[in-house]
Amino acid sequence: GKGLQAMVDRLRCARRGAETAAREAEARGRRAEAGVHEAKLACARAQSGRDAAEGALAAAHGGEEEAHVAHDRAHELAELRDTLLTASAVDSAEERQRLKRRAIAEDVENGEPLVAMRRRIK
């Protein structure tokens, strides 16, 4: 009976070992699943981070375009202002000449040629 008992003991021991190994394998499997889940979450976070970065980049490009347009517009406005100032200066110079000529003509009409001559010199 001793040999039989030893065999039963060995079988019990082997069964306990197998159960322990099975429990450890299950725990490892659960940890692996949790790891896969974590990896999926990290991947999703990375993707949304990438999307946000792409959005920011697109916004920056848009801002750059707007800045270029505004810059060009500022140049156009500056040129327009210069043109208007020049035109205004020319107009006022012509107006001064016209007034001067009229004053000289009036002086001559009024019989004051000396006054007219002094005006011409000025």
First-last CA distance in the chain: 147
**What pLDDT, in 10s, does the model give residues 61-109?**
999 999 999 999 999 999 999 898 888 888 888 888 998 889 888 888 8
**107 and 113 Cβ atoms separated by less than 8 Å:** yes
CA dihedral over 10, 11, 15, 18, signed as positive or negative:
positive
**Span 33-55, pLDDT tens digits:** 999 999 999 999 999 999 999 99
Q: In whole angstroms, what is the distance from residue 51 CA to residue 60 CA? A: 14
pTM of the predicted structure, to 2 decimals: 0.41
Q: Which of 115, 92, 91, 93 is nearest to 104 (CA)?
A: 115
Q: pLDDT tens-digit profile of 9-24?
A: 999 999 999 999 999 9
Q: What is the domain count for the chain?
A: 1
Domain that holds residue 69: 2-121
